[in-house]
Amino acid sequence: MYVLTTSQTDRAHYAPSAPYADRPQAIGHAATISAPHMHASACTHLFSALTPGAKVLDVGSGSGYLSAIFAHLVAAEKPGSQGGSVIGIEHIQALVDLATTNLGKSEDGRKMMQEGHVKFVCGDGRKGYPEAAPYDAIHVGAAALNVHDELVSQLKNGGKMFIPVGDHEQHIWMVEKNEKGEVRKKKLFGVQYVPLTDAPTR
């Protein structure tokens, strides 16, 4: 299993307190940085799609931590080869700014943003981010009421999506699109995420 603790992506740059405890932490604006075991689970389930050069969409990017991890996983394998890219979409501008600040705390984070390998944008992640679609991997960091068609349509053939779905009772679903464009959905395990919502009005 992939080990998330890398010297390049220190969780202390992203979690305001007890960064290495295996539990979610509040980051303001009713958002949380997910627990390390959930970040690890998301990476493990998406791993085969997170190859060097891959394009990733991280919906509800919050602290920016998982976007940073994805960016390291899809980075160029050797100098001169094609690096991947990650779009983190978040509907609260203050959290877009927070993620940008957090990634900017490390030299390689600043470099990844300068070179366009990671970009945080403000918008409704339920609609995805068609401007940079299609994606090899889509991660959704807040619970959806259903598997949004707009997200499925932004998956590449051969791509994978990890998405928590449900209201009171939530489960992780894996959505896979095969090379012919056929979609298969699989319900995995029970979870508790904050919901994907409309943006706050104030």
Other beta carbons within 10 Å of 65: 28
Work out whether 109 is an interface residue with ligand SAH (CB under 6 A): no
Provide φ and ψ at 158, rounded to 5°: 90, 0
- Rule CB under 6 A: choose which of 44, 92, 152, 183 binds ligand SAH: 92
Work out whether 150 is an interface residue with ligand SAH (CB under 6 A): no
Q: Which span (3-11, 83-91, 147-155, 168-176) binds ligand SAH, by CB under 6 A?
A: 83-91
- Rule CB under 6 A: choose which of 9, 41, 63, 154 binds ligand SAH: 63
Work out whether 85 is an interface residue with ligand SAH (CB under 6 A): no
Q: What is the distance, to the nearest Å, from the Cα of residue 44 to the centroid of all Cα atoms in its chain?
A: 13
Q: CB-wise, 49 or 65, nearer to ligand SAH? A: 65
Is 34 a residue of the active site? yes
Work out whether 103 is an interface residue with ligand SAH (CB under 6 A): no
Q: Which alpha helices (H) appear in the chain, and where do they start and end? A: 36-46, 65-74, 93-103, 107-114, 149-153
- Rule CB under 6 A: choose which of 44, 106, 170, 197 binds ligand SAH: 197
Question: Shortest approach of ligand SAH to residue 141 CB, angstroms?
Answer: 3
Work out whether 65 is an interface residue with ligand SAH (CB under 6 A): yes
Contacts of 104-111 spanning 24+ positions with Cβ under 8 A: 105/13, 106/8, 106/9, 106/10, 106/13, 108/8, 109/8, 109/9, 109/13, 109/68
Of 80, 65, 72, the C-alpha closest to 47 is: 72
Of 113, 12, 19, the C-alpha closest to 68 is: 113
Which of the following is catalytic: 34, 41, 63, 85? Answer: 34
- Rule CB under 6 A: choose which of 11, 55, 91, 148 binds ligand SAH: 91
**What is the dihedral angle through the alpha carbons of 188, 27, 88, 195, rounded to the nearest 10 degrees?**
40
Q: 37: which 2 tokens? A: 């075991």
Q: Which residues carry out catalysis?
A: 34
Name the residues that contact ligand SAH, by CB under 6 A. Answer: 31-34, 59-63, 65-66, 89-92, 95, 124-126, 141-142, 194, 196-197
